[in-house]
Amino acid sequence: NAGVTQTPKFQVLKTGQSMTLQCAQDMNHNSMYWYRQDPGMGLRLIYYSASEGTTDKGEVPNGYNVSRLNKREFSLRLESAAPSQTSVYFCASSGSSGRRDEQFFGPGTRLTVL
Amino acid sequence: AQSVTQPDIHITVSEGASLELRCNYSYGATPYLFWYVQSPGQGLQLLLKYFSGDTLVQGIKGFEAEFKRSQSSFNLRKPSVHWSDAAEYFCAATGGGNKLTFGTGTQLKVEL
């Protein structure tokens, strides 16, 4: 039982390049989330998926797109990377969209945009 | 606007000393409250959570937190800190649905 896994762990991009961050969970969770973590700002929600087939914007969605490929996988895409997107990205999942449910976090992807 | 505030960016304590990390929230109604810990290079791990009922909540690794409605606070405590507790601690809250709002975090350093 691996929990929440993310790939890659590290990535360096040039401005304007695109990439997709992958996330998978093996806990049969319905809800999945993408956050970014920046120094002094805590974690901020980018997008989330309350259930398979649905996605919604979070606090900072601009410059990102997401795909809920199936119940297990939730990917985050940067179409044209910008230096402001340099951050650590965390994927999380929870059993349902109810607020009682604990969110389980992956180990993160450290992205640098030059 | 809903918000979570952690007033202390850095805290240093000696091993064996007691610890209290502060968290204040601003929500229209009592939110659900969480404390997470992040070790260097790792994801976040849930320490404890408060939904309702007893205002003193016990968590993992010997941590506890007390909900005080009158002060809009949910402070994290530990009676005796271990060197392995050095990490970053995040308070988080949700008022509805599943959108967590995080505080900016408190970096804990433990002196041996």
* pLDDT tens, position by position, A43-73: 999 999 988 889 999 999 999 999 998 999 9
Provide the shortest C-alpha distance from residue A81 to chain B (in Å): 23
Residue B40 CA, chain-centre distance (Å), reads 17
Tokens for A47, please give them.
């997008």
List the single best residue of A47, A103, A104, A109 to mutate versus B (max B Cβ within 10 A).
A103
Reduced 3-state DSSP string for B53-100? CCCEEECHHHCEEEEEHHHCEEEEEECCCCHHHCEEEEEEEECCCCCC
Question: Alpha-carbon distance A98 to A101, whole Å?
Answer: 6
Residue A35 · residue A43 · CB < 8 Å: yes
pLDDT band for position A96 (cuts 50, 70, 90): low
Judge whether residue B40 has pLDDT over 90. Answer: no
Give B4's contacts (C-beta < 8 A, 6+ positions apart). Answer: A42, B23, B24, B25, B26, B91, B92, B93, B101, B102, B103
Judge whether residue B99 has pLDDT over 90. Answer: no
The SS3 of residue A25 is strand
Chain B residues with CB under 8 Å of A42 CB are 4, 90, 102-105
| Amino acid residing at B42 | Q
What's chain B's average pLDDT? 92
DSSP state of B103: -
Interchain CB contacts (distance < 8 Å): A and B: 61
Q: What percent of chain B has pLDDT over 70?
A: 97
Q: What percent of chain B has pLDDT over 90?
A: 78
A3-20 core/surface letters (b: 16 or more CB in 10 A; e: else): ebebeeeebebeeeeeee
DSSP state of A33: E
Return the bridge partners of B33, or none. Answer: B50, B93
**Cis omega (within 30 of 0) on the bond before A8?**
yes
pLDDT at position A95 is 83
Question: Alpha-carbon distance B111 to A108, whole Å?
Answer: 28
pLDDT band for position B27 (cuts 50, 70, 90): confident
Q: What percent of chain A has pLDDT over 70?
A: 95
